[in-house]
Amino acid sequence: MKAWSKEKKDWCCDRKNIGCQAEPFDCNGGVQTWDEGWSREKKHWCCDNRNIGCEPDTYDCDDGVSNWREGWSTAKMDWCCKTSNKGCREDGLREDTRHEDVPVDD
Protein backbone atom coordinates (compact mmCIF):
# COMPACT_ATOMS: atom_id res chain seq x y z
CA MET A 1 0.00 0.00 0.00
CA LYS A 2 2.97 2.35 0.37
CA ALA A 3 3.20 2.52 -3.42
CA TRP A 4 -0.46 3.44 -3.84
CA SER A 5 -1.27 6.98 -4.87
CA LYS A 6 -3.33 9.16 -2.55
CA GLU A 7 -6.23 8.94 -4.99
CA LYS A 8 -6.12 5.13 -4.98
CA LYS A 9 -5.91 5.01 -1.17
CA ASP A 10 -8.87 7.38 -0.86
CA TRP A 11 -10.93 5.45 -3.41
CA CYS A 12 -10.21 2.05 -1.84
CA CYS A 13 -10.82 3.31 1.68
CA ASP A 14 -14.08 5.08 0.79
CA ARG A 15 -15.54 2.26 -1.29
CA LYS A 16 -13.98 -0.95 0.01
CA ASN A 17 -12.69 0.01 3.48
CA ILE A 18 -9.22 -1.17 2.41
CA GLY A 19 -6.01 0.77 2.81
CA CYS A 20 -7.46 3.23 5.26
CA GLN A 21 -5.11 5.18 7.48
CA ALA A 22 -5.52 4.86 11.22
CA GLU A 23 -7.82 7.60 12.45
CA PRO A 24 -6.36 10.08 14.92
CA PHE A 25 -9.53 10.01 17.06
CA ASP A 26 -12.17 7.48 18.07
CA CYS A 27 -15.28 9.43 17.13
CA ASN A 28 -17.59 6.90 18.75
CA GLY A 29 -15.82 7.06 22.10
CA GLY A 30 -17.53 9.49 24.46
CA VAL A 31 -20.01 10.63 21.83
CA GLN A 32 -22.77 11.04 24.45
CA THR A 33 -20.80 13.87 26.10
CA TRP A 34 -18.88 15.17 23.08
CA ASP A 35 -19.69 18.84 23.64
CA GLU A 36 -18.08 18.95 27.08
CA GLY A 37 -15.78 15.93 26.95
CA TRP A 38 -13.94 16.19 23.63
CA SER A 39 -10.98 18.38 22.80
CA ARG A 40 -11.41 21.11 20.19
CA GLU A 41 -9.20 19.10 17.82
CA LYS A 42 -11.30 15.96 18.20
CA LYS A 43 -14.53 17.93 17.63
CA HIS A 44 -13.20 19.45 14.43
CA TRP A 45 -11.73 16.22 13.08
CA CYS A 46 -14.75 14.05 13.86
CA CYS A 47 -17.20 16.62 12.49
CA ASP A 48 -15.19 17.23 9.31
CA ASN A 49 -14.35 13.58 8.64
CA ARG A 50 -17.15 11.51 10.20
CA ASN A 51 -20.01 14.00 10.64
CA ILE A 52 -20.08 13.14 14.35
CA GLY A 53 -19.95 15.70 17.16
CA CYS A 54 -20.84 18.66 14.97
CA GLU A 55 -22.23 21.79 16.48
CA PRO A 56 -25.95 22.02 15.89
CA ASP A 57 -27.09 24.62 13.41
CA THR A 58 -28.93 26.51 16.07
CA TYR A 59 -29.76 26.79 19.72
CA ASP A 60 -32.72 28.60 21.24
CA CYS A 61 -30.74 31.46 22.75
CA ASP A 62 -33.80 32.82 24.58
CA ASP A 63 -34.32 29.54 26.42
CA GLY A 64 -32.57 29.78 29.80
CA VAL A 65 -30.92 33.12 29.06
CA SER A 66 -31.63 34.38 32.59
CA ASN A 67 -29.38 31.61 33.97
CA TRP A 68 -26.94 31.17 31.07
CA ARG A 69 -23.78 31.09 33.21
CA GLU A 70 -24.98 28.06 35.15
CA GLY A 71 -27.41 26.40 32.77
CA TRP A 72 -25.87 26.52 29.29
CA SER A 73 -23.30 24.15 27.84
CA THR A 74 -20.08 25.60 26.46
CA ALA A 75 -21.29 24.84 22.95
CA LYS A 76 -24.50 26.81 23.52
CA MET A 77 -22.54 29.73 25.01
CA ASP A 78 -20.27 29.76 21.98
CA TRP A 79 -23.16 29.61 19.52
CA CYS A 80 -25.37 32.18 21.23
CA CYS A 81 -22.55 34.62 21.87
CA LYS A 82 -21.43 34.38 18.25
CA THR A 83 -24.85 34.48 16.61
CA SER A 84 -27.09 36.52 18.91
CA ASN A 85 -24.73 38.27 21.33
CA LYS A 86 -26.31 36.43 24.28
CA GLY A 87 -24.37 34.51 26.90
CA CYS A 88 -21.32 36.75 26.42
CA ARG A 89 -19.27 38.85 28.77
CA GLU A 90 -19.56 42.57 28.24
CA ASP A 91 -16.52 42.50 25.94
CA GLY A 92 -18.17 39.89 23.70
CA LEU A 93 -16.17 36.90 24.94
CA ARG A 94 -17.59 33.87 26.66
CA GLU A 95 -17.41 34.06 30.41
CA ASP A 96 -15.09 31.04 30.70
CA THR A 97 -12.51 32.44 28.24
CA ARG A 98 -11.15 34.92 30.79
CA HIS A 99 -7.82 33.89 32.32
CA GLU A 100 -6.62 35.20 35.64
CA ASP A 101 -3.12 35.94 34.34
CA VAL A 102 -4.28 38.00 31.37
CA PRO A 103 -5.14 41.62 32.16
CA VAL A 104 -8.54 42.69 30.92
CA ASP A 105 -9.61 46.32 30.62
CA ASP A 106 -12.91 46.78 32.40
pLDDT in tens, 3-61: 888 888 888 888 887 878 788 899 899 988 988 899 989 988 887 777 788 776 667 88
The C-alpha angle 59, 27, 57, rounded to 5 degrees, equals 20
Q: d(Cα 96, Cα 74) in Å, to the nearest integer?
A: 9
**Residue pair 62/55 in contact by the 8 Å Cβ criterion:** no
User: What pTM was estimated for this model as a whole?
Assistant: 0.39
Rounded distance, CA 12 to CA 5, Å? 11
Higher pLDDT, 83 or 39: 39
